[in-house]
Chains A and B, each alone.
Chain A
Amino acid sequence: MSIFIEATIKVIAAFVFLLLTTLIIIWAERKWVSDLQNRIGPDRAGPFGILQSLADGAKAFFKESIRPARADFVIYMAAPIAAVLPALLIFLVIPIGAPVEIGGTEYTLQVMDLNIGLLYVLALSSIAVYAITLAGWSSGSKYPLLGAVRASAQMISYEAAMGLALVPVVLFAGTTSIAGIVDGQQGTFGAFLPAWNIVLLPSFVIFLIAGFAETNRAPFDLVEAESEIVGGYHTEYSGLTFAMFFLAEYINVFNISALTATLFLGGWAGPVPDFLPTAIQWLVPIFWFLLKTWAVVFLFVWVRATLPRMRYDQLMAFGWKRLIPVSLAWIILCAVAIGFREFGAPWS
């Protein structure tokens, strides 16, 4: 099969998978939050309200798109697209299962295994900042402007922490290819303890915290803090354009969860030996991947239902005074450990 056909099929499959997942995440979040809050949650559209996000999407689609008179039209319309595109693109480098053999050819369950996979992810998540900042700025309104300023400060500083948290992972894996990092986590420590990167605990925690901040989720949702600045950057958006920001946020939640599962929780590698018959053996890694990812998604929702929102200055202080120094120290520690491992102790 030509590589182009293969890529096309994979891209379409990934796109459909991502959109479907997002619809389910939105529904699942509302269901979980309502369970945590003693509410019923959506239960009208479809069984258990599972079609709720679809109904909301349809509603947004048919709603009038209101544009403020003072908005900068081109940027105002481009910002939602700039929010969705990077979110969609990040997913392309995440492997959702072990390579599959069909008719003698091996196919990876990953759209593209870039050798600079991690850098690609970081670069794209930086672009997402532009979308939010420009959306806030181009709305020509005050609350969105406040949201935009918050977004640029917050996402840039947490971008740094996130990047630094990933350095030890790269150091130990010796590659920035995401498939390579997953391969590095196969096998076990000792008898049965899976050799996942979660042993790099500081990295894991910092990456997760920075992930919360990157996706503007509670307790770092001050970019769109409803009780303070109404809706933040998307205050002036309505209809489809608003839906696109909404979509981007949830795709990002899934992306960060998938990345956490991939980089720290062993990706598609399972903690128990394979047990299914060979014919459907390829489903098992996908199951593990989805299980881990959804566990992290649940963590996102749980945190949102529990924690209050941080304040702007506290958020910045936390990022620059805690996360970044800790991750720098941790990088040095890891580098020294690797140095010992590779070259032996300098005194020996």
Chain B
Amino acid sequence: MSDTTDLTADVPAEEVEEASVSVAEERRAAHDVWVSGTEERMPFATGTDEGAQEMLPSDIDPALAIQEGIEVDDDYVDEDDDHDFGDRQIINMGPQHPSTHGVLRLQMELEGETVVRVKPIIGYLHTGMEKTAETLNYAQGATNVTRMDYLSPFHNELAYSLTVEQLLGIDVPPRANAIRVLMTELNRVSSHLLWAATQGMDIGALSMMIYGWRERETCLDFFEKTTGLRMNHNYIRVGGVAADLPDGWRDDVASLITTVSRGVDEYEQLLNENPIFLDRTMGVGVITPKEVEQFGITGPMARASGVNWDLRKEMPYCGIDQYEFDVPLGKYGDVHDRYEVRIAEIRESLKIVEQVMDSMPSGDYRTEDRKVTPPPRKRIDESMEALIHHFKLFTEGIAVPPGTAYQAVEGPRGEIGCMMISKGGSRPWRMHWRAPSFAAVQALPVMMTDSLVADVVASLASADPVLGDVDR
């Protein structure tokens, strides 16, 4: 019973050793730094009690910089590291830390207050949403994806809906498109306002936090009025939107625009010439345009580094190209540029919203395609066909032909992309998301290394990661 079979009993001892060495080397080469809990004894493992995920020794650290096929300007790898760990300590920032924006964990190697190395550890908010999507039909899918990047639910829903519509090969009516643009741009405003609030708080400007939330509230009020919920709306659906805009929406949006612009002016009064704010943000957390491309960073972070890439201009969706707006660009790629770019984006988005308001087309807010949109309740009593369609849509769901589709939209944090493979039927066979926050979190070591702990917080806030988006 209790026989323990030694698998290596027949093999000569030196061969085993040789084999394990080569396997270890191979694994190291293949997995580079992301292997945690390697069998080898590491310099840190002896002296610290950091748990399972130790920092790896410095000699394989360049791997962190040079991931497969990608070469990175590694300003954060200390080449002549002499392994003097006497003054260094490893500190875990997060997952429960006031300013890690959810449950990000940063493992930092500190020398005094200087950050020598950083390793972002993610996965604390992983809920398997991409897998869940495989069991939800296309009508239910939007409720799922809206919870990924919970600060920009409309963008998630939009990316999802556009992808499915691409598979279906249908177009949505112009009014639906206009409503989608209106809601997503307002969502960008609300997300950037929340960012302004947290960025302020993280560098110690406490009032900024409340001011940002205050203006965001006006956006959320409008969302609530339109969709019934403040977040996770499930409003933008396949084939259009769930409901038409509420009565008096023009007044609401007009007053929202006034309130938010006044608020943004106030933020600028509070921060723009504040020497402490400038000191804390200028030259902190710099990302070069080259690094932007290598890490796949998009959105305001890329544009702050001077990379002119905005999907609304490059690959327009929902007819957003018919509205006039500018793409604000930064120059230095530091925290301050990100601040300026985001503040400018709020204004640009409000500009779009204003234009949408003036040019809102009349007509249907969802497609007439009866294979996608359920018939109105009244029609069910009159028409047998309508009853059948209604029944089929709510029992089987929307039938989507086989195919693969990818559609991305410009979210507040960058390119939110949805990749979907359908094998027919009413559920996607596979779904994968391109999360902008993921790329941003990946680039954190570049931004943070060789800065101080206070800068770590400022950089992290300026990256504006949403952990729901990173982990999904």
Co-complex (A, B): yes
When the two chains form their complex, are residues B274 and A38 in contact, meaning their CB atoms are under 8 A apart? no
Contact of B73 with A by CB under 8 A: no
When the two chains form their complex, are residues B204 and A143 in contact, meaning their CB atoms are under 8 A apart? no
Contact of B113 with A by CB under 8 A: yes
Given known pairs A142-B89, A219-B276, A310-B279, the reply for A228 and B454 (CB within 8 Å) is yes
Given known pairs A37-B210, A228-B457, A312-B454, the reply for A143 and B203 (CB within 8 Å) is no
Which of B435-472 touch A at CB < 8 Å? 452-457
When the two chains form their complex, are residues B203 and A308 in contact, meaning their CB atoms are under 8 A apart? yes
Nearest-CB distance from B361 to chain A (Å)? 38
When the two chains form their complex, are residues B113 and A227 in contact, meaning their CB atoms are under 8 A apart? no
When the two chains form their complex, are residues A309 and B203 in contact, meaning their CB atoms are under 8 A apart? yes
When the two chains form their complex, are residues A227 and B270 in contact, meaning their CB atoms are under 8 A apart? no
When the two chains form their complex, are residues A307 and B274 in contact, meaning their CB atoms are under 8 A apart? yes
**In the complex, A309 Cα to B274 Cα: how many Å?**
11
**In the complex, A313 Cα to B450 Cα: how many Å?**
13
Chain A residues whose CB sits within 8 angstroms of the CB of B204 once the complex forms = 218-219, 221, 225, 227, 307-310
Q: Could you give, for residues 246-281 of chain A, a 1 whenever the CB lies within 8 Å of some chain B CB and a 0 otherwise? A: 000000000000000000000000000000000000
Select which of A229, A230, A307 is within 8 A of B276 by beta carbon: A307
Q: Which partner residue on chain B sits nearest A311 by CB separation? A: B454
Nearest-CB distance from A225 to chain B (Å)? 7
Chain A residues whose CB sits within 8 angstroms of the CB of B452 once the complex forms = 311-313
Which of A23-48 touch B at CB < 8 Å? 33, 36-39
Chain B residues whose CB sits within 8 angstroms of the CB of A313 once the complex forms = 452
Chain A residues whose CB sits within 8 angstroms of the CB of B387 once the complex forms = none
**In the complex, A304 Cα to B205 Cα: how many Å?**
8
Nearest-CB distance from A253 to chain B (Å)? 16
Contact of A188 with B by CB under 8 A: no
Given known pairs A230-B97, A304-B206, the reply for A37 and B454 (CB within 8 Å) is no
Given known pairs A308-B277, A311-B452, the reply for A227 and B99 (CB within 8 Å) is yes
When the two chains form their complex, are residues B276 and A308 in contact, meaning their CB atoms are under 8 A apart? yes
**Which secondary structure dominates where chain B touches chain A?**
helix
**In the complex, A36 Cα to B455 Cα: how many Å?**
27
When the two chains form their complex, are residues B112 and A149 in contact, meaning their CB atoms are under 8 A apart? yes
Contact of A306 with B by CB under 8 A: yes
Chain B residues whose CB sits within 8 angstroms of the CB of A314 once the complex forms = 276, 279-280
Contact of A222 with B by CB under 8 A: yes
**In the complex, A33 Cα to B207 Cα: how many Å?**
8
Which of B63-108 touch A at CB < 8 Å? 89, 91, 97-99
When the two chains form their complex, are residues B457 and A227 in contact, meaning their CB atoms are under 8 A apart? yes
Chain B residues whose CB sits within 8 angstroms of the CB of A150 once the complex forms = 113
Q: Which partner residue on chain A sits nearest B277 by CB separation? A: A308
When the two chains form their complex, are residues A36 and B201 in contact, meaning their CB atoms are under 8 A apart? no
Contact of A209 with B by CB under 8 A: no
Which of A291-348 touch B at CB < 8 Å? 304-314
Q: Could you give, for residues 191-214 of chain B, a 1 whenever the CB lies within 8 Å of some chain A CB and a 0 otherwise? A: 000000000111111111011001
Given known pairs A308-B200, A308-B276, A309-B203, the reply for A39 and B98 (CB within 8 Å) is no
**In the complex, A219 Cα to B454 Cα: how many Å?**
13
Chain B residues whose CB sits within 8 angstroms of the CB of A219 once the complex forms = 204, 276
When the two chains form their complex, are residues A306 and B113 in contact, meaning their CB atoms are under 8 A apart? no
Nearest-CB distance from A322 to chain B (Å)? 12
Nearest-CB distance from A240 to chain B (Å)? 23
Residues of B within 8 A of A (CB): 89, 91, 97-99, 110, 112-113, 200-208, 210-211, 214, 270-271, 274, 276-277, 279-280, 452-457
Q: Rank and list the top 4 A-B pairs by shortest CB-CB distance, nearest first.
A: A309-B204, A37-B210, A308-B205, A227-B99
- Residue pairs across A and B with Cβ atoms less than 8 A apart, 11 shown, are A36-B207, A37-B210, A38-B211, A221-B204, A228-B453, A230-B97, A306-B207, A307-B276, A308-B200, A310-B276, A311-B279
